[in-house]
Chain A
């Protein structure tokens, strides 16, 4: 984005929700203002950026972050080593390596105390500080390591301009201002979103080079050579993301037969089974994505869309602003930055067995979907035909990674939307709490661990979540009917309405729940619930800690 494009974007921008954040750096950043506002406007947001007075980053870091304010901090070598600031000149006395590094570590620790801050590091050249050049090189590399240990995103050294820094106090090259502003805004927007779940890719000139409808099987390229190389690498990235739990889907304006043909060659890194669904039709891409979201029962804000055509990107961005639209790069050289952007959208801290099998789980969901019109006796008959079994696990001891992950990533069937750390779960369990998880199986196979329930020592359900993959199976009713029949039945649920947890609000409309208790707790009529939902529990062959499969 160059200046006139930024100016044009801002002139045409009709306004949007505020995007507030702090852009902190020791340098002057006035030059970035128009580019930051334009980068946000391109995403439909009105940027309100707070900055720091020139050369006050060090002082600002002595104070705690403003609650709720997102922070983006651009760091330079001289933030860690003030002697290396070009504006101060080369020190007349040689610096002491140990002292320099100790001081840098202090700043790094101070930065580490701001867990919600996001860092960018500019590996700018250093003036010669030490008598031997090897020590200067060592320091430059060491500082990069320190920045990396903070999780900083590395910018290219070329974004630094000494001329600009000396003349205006802004250390960024004018030609890179658009790129830097876009990176900062993307970082803020990405951090305000949860990890994406579905990657929807275009096919022609994205998954392969060429247009299948025009070039035919013989004319398209996806091998590890020539014009296909970029697309080969992209497919290997998608295969990795799929292994890590990302759902792959494809949309294309083609006939289904044509769209499937390249997969049938068996020579591409990706197979058709790697995709949870491929929608081939002549509808708008936004309609195709909405159709996928409905079939998978996932929110559009968990979708990333990738296309090489700027018009398609624009169409989807306009019709579905919740979807993260990323342009497939036109050149091989732009591939690393593109890969980084895509990978960050799907970044995960912990991988579980369910992550690796997610595509298969969702494919089963699509096969076992309840017909839209099914209700009453029809629905019961359909569910019985699925031959479902529920395996309940006591996760109060041993591996609970999946249960905690489920609590922290589920939005719709989520009792209160609260995220919880493993340490917090451990503290509740140490005080007499219990953690249960449930696995659902049916005639199509296993759906994995899809329900988690955390109960504290007082019998209050602190977390109750269920994967949206298994809605309409009556699993939540069956599980709770089992739980209330146990020795220590729960007495209440810690319910908080959120903008997205309507499914659990509907669940709590059941007459056995008593709303209005103090502290926002919802009471449970255990006997009533067990009686009313015995038929739901009977839909499942049950294997619980004290129950054998019939």
Chain B
């Protein structure tokens, strides 16, 4: 994943979880983020699909357990 894509993905995480612009989201995952509920997860999926023009099916969505896992998933999709 190139730096531009990584920056956009981090911006998406900050926007969806309403975090400050300098918040480090690269270590974020569902276990350490109390507000990452199922509704936010749906928002995160929609945001990523919209921003990168990809389709994330149920199996993909299950794999999105954190920032790192999501970045890995997108890399596998060629981003």
* A contact residues around B49 at 8 Å (CB): 164, 173-175, 177
* B contact residues around A170 at 8 Å (CB): 42, 46
* B contact residues around A31 at 8 Å (CB): 42-43, 45-46
A421 within 8 A of B: no
Least CB separation from A169: chain B residue: B42
| Interchain CB contact under 8 A, A4 and B61 | no
| Interchain CB contact under 8 A, A3 and B55 | no
- Distance, CA A167 to CA B57, complexed state (A): 7
| Interchain CB contact under 8 A, B51 and A167 | no
- Distance, CA A167 to CA B38, complexed state (A): 12
Q: Report the tally of A-B residue pairs with Cβ distances under 8 A.
A: 64
Least CB separation from B50: chain A residue: A3
B71 within 8 A of A: no
- Distance, CA A34 to CA B51, complexed state (A): 13
* A contact residues around B57 at 8 Å (CB): 163, 166-167
Within 8 A of B (CB), among A103-147: none
Q: Provided the pairs A4-B12, A168-B42 are in contact, do residues A177 and B50 lie with their beta carbons within 8 angstroms?
A: yes
Partner of A175, one of B53, B58, B61: B53
| Interchain CB contact under 8 A, B50 and A2 | yes
- Distance, CA A170 to CA B58, complexed state (A): 13
- Distance, CA A2 to CA B46, complexed state (A): 10
Q: Provided the pairs A4-B8, A4-B15, A31-B46 are in contact, do residues A173 and B39 lie with their beta carbons within 8 angstroms?
A: no
Within 8 A of B (CB), among A155-185: 161, 163-164, 166-168, 170, 173-175, 177-178
* A contact residues around B43 at 8 Å (CB): 30-31, 34
* B contact residues around A393 at 8 Å (CB): none
5 cross-chain pairs, A with B, having the tightest CB-CB distances, nearest first: A174-B49, A31-B46, A163-B57, A3-B47, A167-B58
Residues of B within 8 A of A (CB): 8, 11-12, 15, 39, 42-43, 45-58, 61
* A contact residues around B12 at 8 Å (CB): 3-4
Residues of A within 8 A of B (CB): 2-4, 6-7, 30-31, 34-35, 161, 163-164, 166-168, 170, 173-175, 177-178
- Distance, CA A161 to CA B46, complexed state (A): 12
| Interchain CB contact under 8 A, A163 and B8 | no
| Interchain CB contact under 8 A, B15 and A174 | no
Q: Provided the pairs A4-B12, A167-B61 are in contact, do residues A30 and B39 lie with their beta carbons within 8 angstroms?
A: yes
| Interchain CB contact under 8 A, B42 and A4 | no
* B contact residues around A163 at 8 Å (CB): 55-58
* A contact residues around B51 at 8 Å (CB): 2-4
* A contact residues around B53 at 8 Å (CB): 175
| Interchain CB contact under 8 A, B58 and A3 | no
| Interchain CB contact under 8 A, A174 and B58 | no
- Distance, CA A414 to CA B34, complexed state (A): 60
* B contact residues around A7 at 8 Å (CB): 15
* A contact residues around B58 at 8 Å (CB): 163, 166-167
- Distance, CA A4 to CA B10, complexed state (A): 11
Within the complex, what minimum Cβ distance (angstroms) separates A487 from chain B?
69
Within the complex, what minimum Cβ distance (angstroms) separates B21 from chain A?
10
| Interchain CB contact under 8 A, B50 and A30 | no
